Amino acid sequence: MARVKGGVTTRARKKKIFKLTKGFWGKKKNCYRFATEAVDRAGNFAYRDRKTKKRLFRQMWIIRISAILKENGLSYSKFMGAMKNAKIEVNRKMLSDIAATDPNSFIKLIETVKTA
């Protein structure tokens, strides 16, 4: 039986790694051993930071809402509690967007929540 050489598959496997390390600095982009380590590490960071991104966006939305509420003499926690009591179900992302783009309508929302 003839000997099978693995040059094609080896090159394909290495090519896949080098494609992922494009733009990396130093040996990490063109030395297979270091490139595989760099790709594994980058993958771990990407996985972790996809989770972190959700947290950071939620924090940003809360900060935006809280800023406009402080101007109108209301705390964030009291406002969210009043929203629940008034049975107004708007998520933080939408509240933040309204607060940033159209403050007048957000102020009207605050007044309706205060009365309810």
Place of tokens 């969210």: 80
Token readout for 102 is 């159209």
Q: Which residues contact 80 (CB under 8 A, 6 or more apart)?
A: none
Give the residues of the chain that fall short of pLDDT 70.
Answer: none
Q: What is the pLDDT of residue 5?
A: 87
Q: What is the pLDDT of residue 43?
A: 96
Which class in CATH covers the domain with range 10-115? mainly alpha
Stated pTM of the model: 0.74
Residue 48, pLDDT score: 97
**Which residues does 96 contact at the CB level (< 8 Å), separation at least 6?**
60, 61, 62, 64, 65
Residue 20 burial (10 A CB sphere; 0-12, 13-18, 19+): middle
